Amino acid sequence: MSDLSTRPYLIRAIYEWCVDSGLTPYLAVRVDEQTEVPPAFVKDGEIVLNLSASAVRNLEMGNEMITCNGRFGGAPFDVMVPVVAVIGIFAKETGQGLVFQGGGPQQTPPTANGGNGEHKPASRKPHLKIVK
């Protein structure tokens, strides 16, 4: 029997649902030493990334790592996020998505709005389901 995690498959499924629905996929990430994101955009050890086609290039969502190229404050940056660091994935417009148990101290991921991977608080609270 395989010990494959369901996490990367669920992340890809919610990402595809967002894209197919015309929604903006946002990825909430707990930043650690294996996570490569612009430090200036990290708040309280977390970052929210806009994964829409207009915000990132060369998005690859593997079973171990999520990588892409994005712009932060106008400067290019190569992003590397271990799948285990993902707190959740959700649609910016509706807040619907998934939050992963053990994804960090919060039970719901931080919200964000704005484009190009920028981290900004949103006025709407996401509606997420905890997945074990």
Report pLDDT digits (tens) over 80-109.
999 999 999 999 999 999 999 865 433 344
Give pLDDT, residue 116: 44
Mean pLDDT of the chain: 84
More confident residue, 124 or 62: 62
The first and second tokens of residue 22, run together, are 């015309």
- Whether 129 has a pLDDT exceeding 70, the answer reads no
E strand or H helix at 71, and its extent?
strand 65-72
In angstroms, what is the C-alpha Rg of the chain? 13
Q: What phi and psi values does residue 30 have, to the nearest 5 degrees?
A: -90, 120
- Whether 58 has a pLDDT exceeding 70, the answer reads yes
Report pLDDT digits (tens) over 102-123.
654 333 444 444 444 444 444 4
DSSP secondary structure string for all residues of 97-116: EEEETTSSS-SSPPP--SST
Taken in order of first residue, the domains within the chain and their CATH numbers are: 7-102 (2.30.30.220)
pTM assigned to the model: 0.77
Beta bridge partners of 44: none
